[in-house]
């Protein structure tokens, strides 16, 4: 059997991604610094966007779907009067308008963009069209027609208005919402056109700015014990999933793919109360053993972790 390159490194690194760097490039840099065997990220950030990019190393990659599903917080500045091909400052101008909305008009329209809304993703996005990335097709000059999708916008608020051409917003959204599309549609709804001038993500679920490290700082630390101090436990991405402590014997059963019956009534009652039919974090000796589903009085392993 071929040995994996790198070391076994498990945990989450919360990177404050700089602009002009793709999410994949950022992951590769972090993977090299930690000399990790495996790495991935929880939610793509555009090259022109900065902010929170949670990077999973080793066994943390098994918890990526739960981080991706978490709510996300963004701040962006919308520039009125110019629509661009990419819906951000990188693309060519494709439409102009002299119309500029007032603060009151902006606040009045925000409820229309709150809750479950229909959104057509930007043509320049990573969505696949017949096996090809939409942005590759768009860059090749092909017309890209993406289907509208329902996304959740929990909160959208106007933060600042530095001049008539610009407005800064804060948004808390669910999975799959594109801020570039939201900015584009806001401008259209206000009777003008526009694009996002700058975009920053300030949170992904439990991963926030106060836990983040810049790429510059991480590079300065290099492959040192100080760098490893910035790794968060694998279970950080699972904060909202209830945990249950198991015995060493029960942990062995789960690790071998076998279900564990909850013999103690207090355990059964607690799981019924917190997550009927839902996910449970199985813990043993303070370590995450597996993600399980509670079914018919048993914990059934869904994803076993080797920590």
Assign 3-class secondary structure to the chain.
CCCCCCECCCEEEEEEECCCCCHHHHHHHHHHHHCECCEEECCCCCCCEEEEEEEEEHHHHHHHHHHHCCCEEEEEEEEECEEECCCECCCCEEEECCCCCCHHHHHHHHHHHCEEEEECCCCCCCCEECCEEHHHHHHCCCCCCCCCEEEEEEEEEEEEEEECCEEEEEEEECCCCCHHHHHHHHHHHCCCCEEEEEEEEEEECCEEHHHCEEHHHHHHHCCCHHHHCCCECHHHHHCCCCEEECCHHHHHHHHCCCCEECCCHHHHHHHHHHCCCCEEEEEECCEEEEEEEEECCEEEEEEECCC
Side-chain half-sphere exposure of 91, counting CA atoms within 13 A: 22
* C-alpha dihedral, 182 to 15 to 241 to 246, nearest 10°: 170
| Contact call for residues 118 and 138 (beta carbons, < 8 A) | no
CA distance 250 to 27: 35
Q: 46 an active-site residue?
A: yes
Closest C-alpha among 135, 174, 180, 181 to residue 151: 174
Q: Which of 10, 16, 46, 88 is catalytic?
A: 46
Q: At 60, list the tokens.
A: 């943390």
Residues annotated as catalytic (active site), given as ranges? 46
């Amino acid at each position: 059997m071929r040995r994996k390159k790198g070391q076994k490194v498990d945990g989450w690194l919360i990177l404050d991604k700089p602009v002009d760097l793709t999410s994949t490039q950022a992951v590769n840099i972090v993977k090299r610094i930690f000399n990790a065997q495996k790495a991935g990220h929880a939610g793509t950030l555009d090259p022109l966007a900065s902010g929170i990019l949670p990077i999973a190393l080793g066994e943390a990659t098994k918890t990526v779907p739960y981080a991706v599903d978490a709510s996300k917080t963004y701040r962006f500045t919308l520039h009125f009067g110019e629509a661009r091909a990419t819906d951000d400052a990188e693309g060519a101008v494709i439409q102009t308008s002299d119309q500029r909305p007032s603060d009151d008009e902006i606040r009045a329209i925000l409820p229309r963009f709150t809750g479950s809304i229909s959104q057509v993703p930007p043509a320049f996005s990573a969505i696949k069209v017949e096996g090809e990335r939409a942005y590759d097709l768009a860059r090749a000059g092909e017309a890209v027609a993406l289907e509208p999708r329902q996304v959740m916008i929990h909160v959208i608020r106007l933060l600042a208005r530095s001049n008539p051409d610009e407005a800064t917003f804060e948004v808390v959204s669910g999975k799959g919402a594109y801020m570039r599309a939201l900015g584009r549609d806001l401008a259209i709804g206000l009777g003008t056109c526009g694009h996002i001038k700058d975009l920053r993500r300030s949170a992904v679920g439990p991963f926030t700015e106060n836990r983040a490290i810049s790429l510059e700082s991480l590079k300065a630390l290099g492959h040192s014990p100080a760098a490893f101090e910035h790794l968060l436990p694998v279970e950080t991405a699972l904060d909202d999933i209830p945990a249950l402590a198991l015995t060493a014997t029960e942990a062995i059963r789960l690790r071998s793919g076998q279900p564990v019956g909850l013999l103690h009534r207090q355990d059964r009652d607690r799981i019924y109360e917190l997550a009927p039919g839902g996910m449970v974090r199985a813990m043993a000796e303070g370590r995450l053993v597996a993600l399980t589903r509670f079914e018919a009085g048993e914990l059934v392993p869904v994803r076993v972790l080797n920590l």
